[in-house]
Chain A
Amino acid sequence: AQSVSQHNHHVILSEAASLELGCNYSYGGTVNLFWYVQYPGQHLQLLLKYFSGDPLVKGIKGFEAEFIKSKFSFNLRKPSVQWSDTAEYFCAVTRNTGGFKTIFGAGTRLFVKA
């Protein structure tokens, strides 16, 4: 069955530290890949997305992600986190064949210490 794995459930960093959140998916067909952020008490916001082309995708707020097809991975990175990045981050994978369907990872809760 199709699944999305986020390896880190909780991450605690100090401000200015670098961030990398892992995301792997299990689906052999064509996929679209997304990272969403959910700030405390707020709704989902799209950070970035990958459909095709350059596998290094830049999103909002200084985030980027790299699609590595051979590893079925789409890791999220930020070189220097801020306290305001404290939030929950969700990786999501959408397949377009066999019916449009999006599967979300379990989420990674990031806490940035000031």
Chain B
Amino acid sequence: GAVVSQHPSWVICKSGTSVKIECRSLDFQATTMFWYRQFPKQSLMLMATSNEGSKATYEQGVEKDKFLINHASLTLSTLTVTSAHPEDSSFYICSARGVGRATYNEQFFGPGTRLTVL
């Protein structure tokens, strides 16, 4: 139980284009989803927290207009990297937290999406 998927698993795009990454909780309802970014050989850095039906809360230094987050349902959150540039190339990881006893106190991580911007 408590499986989180991400799509796509990897994406290559041209500079200036936008890329959408989906995060889904497959077998539980995720009231809160988190988006992280991981640069090579570095730790996970929290980008934003999104609660279903409300605006995401961004961490300091994360541009909300560049990284658009939508959490329209209890099982889906999307991250759109707008006007991507090579410096946005990274590994993007989502996680989800549910409401039930089994899913409330921890996050369940997706497999990540590797974005390469040419």
Q: Which residues of A contact B (CB under 8 A)?
A: 32, 34, 36, 43-44, 46, 49, 51, 90, 94, 96, 99-107, 109
Contact = CB atoms under 8 A, between A and B. Distances in A.
Contacts, number: 42
Interface in B17-50: 32, 34, 41-46, 49
Q: Interface majority SS on A: helix, strand, loop or mixed? A: strand
Given A100-B32, A102-B34, A94 B44 contact: no
Given A43-B110, A107-B42, A101 B49 contact: yes
Interface of B: 32, 34, 41-46, 49, 93, 95, 97, 105-107, 109-112
Contacts of A107: 42-43
A66 to B, nearest CB: 19
Contacts of B34: 102
A77 B49 CA distance: 31
Contacts of A90: 43-44
29 contacts: A32-B106, A34-B106, A36-B109, A43-B93, A43-B109, A43-B110, A43-B111, A44-B93, A44-B109, A46-B106, A90-B43, A90-B44, A94-B105, A96-B105, A99-B49, A100-B49, A100-B97, A101-B46, A101-B49, A102-B107, A103-B46, A104-B43, A104-B44, A105-B43, A106-B42, A106-B43, A107-B42, A107-B43, A109-B41
Nearest to B97: A100
Contacts of B106: 32, 34, 46, 49, 94
